Amino acid sequence: MSQGLLGRQINGIWHTSVVVYGEEFYYGGMGIESCRPCGTILGPPDERLELGETEIPSEMFYEYLAQLGESKFLPQKYSLFDHNCNNFSAEAAQFLTGKGIPEYITNLPSDVLSTPFGQMIKGLIENVQVSPGQGQTARHF
């Protein structure tokens, strides 16, 4: 379907999160949140990517999330195309492992927006708030 609308194949519209220390951390219209793994209303993931191991202590990561939650990843800064869960996952993964997430995920919004159809739909859906944490949210950061 994407080939006909966008002129290129898009294999998915990705929601990402980071699972570490027995919790799933994600960003959406409610800010940074966490829950038990696969505990969001989105259910289990279609795909899991191993990004590596971390030597960052959990308390240091929680402090980092609190800082991000008060600055860069505030709820009101969420934008489906420009500042979303994938940006958060990339930054959290970089902090934890020194590696980000795959570019086919982080580049998806710009790939879509580079098409005439993408520009047309941007105005229709740019204010959509995605809040996967309406399931079993443990805490907000």
User: Could you give the CA distance from residue 90 to residue 22 in angstroms, rounded to a whole number?
Assistant: 19
Catalytic: which of 15, 35, 38, 140?
A: 15
User: Could you give the CA distance from residue 102 to residue 31 in angstroms, rounded to a whole number?
Assistant: 22
Provide the token pair at 48.
């899991």
Catalytic: which of 35, 38, 83, 85?
A: 85
- To the query of whether residue 83 is one of the catalytic residues in this protein, the response is no
Q: Which residue has the tokens 């005439």?
A: 116
Q: How many residues are present in the chain?
A: 141
- To the query of whether residue 15 is one of the catalytic residues in this protein, the response is yes
The residues annotated with a catalytic role in the active site are 15, 85
